[in-house]
Structure 1
Amino acid sequence: MSARPFDFAAAGRRGAERRWAAHRAQRLAAGLPATTREAQGRKPDRFDDPEVERFWMQRAEACGLFDERDTSTQRRRKAHRFAAAETDAYLSAFATASGAAAAPSDRDVMLAYHEREIERLTEARRIALRNAETHLRVRGDHEKALADLIEAGAE
């Protein structure tokens, strides 16, 4: 009879589950998700329903938004942003229409998508430039400290 070696990882998982069982039960009784990770949910670059995701992926691909080098995550993010842009185009079309509202054309939807992408990328550029300035300043501080240490020598 060969005895299996003790699995320390499994024992640790069981212990953690026992320690947190009361906390999870308390959260569930309060109507909250069992863990804070579950409360945070999925990232907003994905759809909750696979059918909805499939629809928007096909719609974005039909509009030519995907590059052949895009990963599946990049495609899902583009489709999600495209869905938000199309929703905005419909909302603005219905808000400005008096009486019978006409659905926006594909051109209007693409205009809304590209405008939103320009805004998003402009904000990302602003943040990147701010970070680059900070990095350059901190690098200068380190260079000054290094020069001071070299100048001081081995005293």
Structure 2
Amino acid sequence: MTGKPAPGRAASGRAGMESRWAAHRAARLAAGLPATVREEQGRKPDRFTDPAIEAIWIDRAEAAGVIPSGCTSTQRRRTAFRYAQAVTAETSRRAAEKVTTPLTGTDERIAYYEAEIERLASAERMDRRRADEHQRQREAAESILADLLFREGRE
């Protein structure tokens, strides 16, 4: 006897399950994946790959006032990412045009809101296309239904 209490039924079941899945976990880790699919589906960096950089951009976006109050953490991260994209794009555009003055906070906010307008306009165009297609399909279904009902009434 080892002096340890006998493992309970649940503990022995967990140990058996761990041993059965050990090879699968090792293969996933060797492939560079998380150990389980559940871990893979868990919270991931939403847009940024480095949490330190994410924190910097969230702070900058909050300081600029572009993150609305009451946002969830996901909404904050996504807004900060879009802010970072807009500021980076504006910095690149200025570098290409050889503008030497640094971006001010106002310039950053202008770049962000211009990018947001473009993003939302694009989303609106896609929504309109989907709505038009849905209307076309609905009208086709209504036409077929009317034909079927009219034919049923005549037979």
TM-score (norm 1): 0.68
Runs of at least 5 residues in structure 2 that lack an aligned partner in the other structure? 1-7
Task: Give secondary structure in 1 for the equivalent of 2:47.
Answer: coil
Per-residue deviation, residues 38-86 of structure 1 (Å, max 9, x unmatched): 7xxx57634432x211111111111111222322211111100001111
Amino acid at match of 1:142: A
Shift of 1:102: 2.9
**Superposition pairs for residues 13-52 of structure 1, below 5 Å?**
45-49=47-51, 51-52=52-53
Amino acid at match of 1:72: S
Contact 1:47–1:80 under 8 Å retained in 2: no
Task: Give secondary structure in 2 for the equivalent of 1:153.
Answer: helix
Shift of 1:94: 2.4
Shift of 1:89: 2.0
- The equivalent of 2:81 in structure 1 is 80
**Superposition pairs for residues 114-125 of structure 1, below 5 Å?**
114-125=113-124
Q: Which has the larger radius of gyration?
A: 2
Contact 1:57–1:75 under 8 Å retained in 2: yes
Instruction: State the superposition RMSD in angstroms.
Output: 3.6
2-structure distance, mates of 1:56, 1:79: 6
Amino acid at match of 1:48: D
Runs of at least 5 residues in structure 1 that lack an aligned partner in the other structure? none
1:90 has 2:88 as partner: no
Contact 2:86–2:115 under 8 Å retained in 1: yes
- The equivalent of 1:66 in structure 2 is 67
2-structure distance, mates of 1:68, 1:21: 45
Amino acid at match of 1:80: F
- The equivalent of 1:139 in structure 2 is 138
Structure 1 residues 121, 142: closer, same or farther in 2, change over 3 A? Answer: same
Structure 1 residues 107, 55: closer, same or farther in 2, change over 3 A? Answer: same
TM-score (norm 2): 0.68
Structure 1 residues 138, 81: closer, same or farther in 2, change over 3 A? Answer: same
2-structure distance, mates of 1:129, 1:44: 27
Amino acid at match of 1:76: R
Task: Give secondary structure in 2 for the equivalent of 1:70.
Answer: coil
Task: Give secondary structure in 2 for the equivalent of 1:111.
Answer: helix
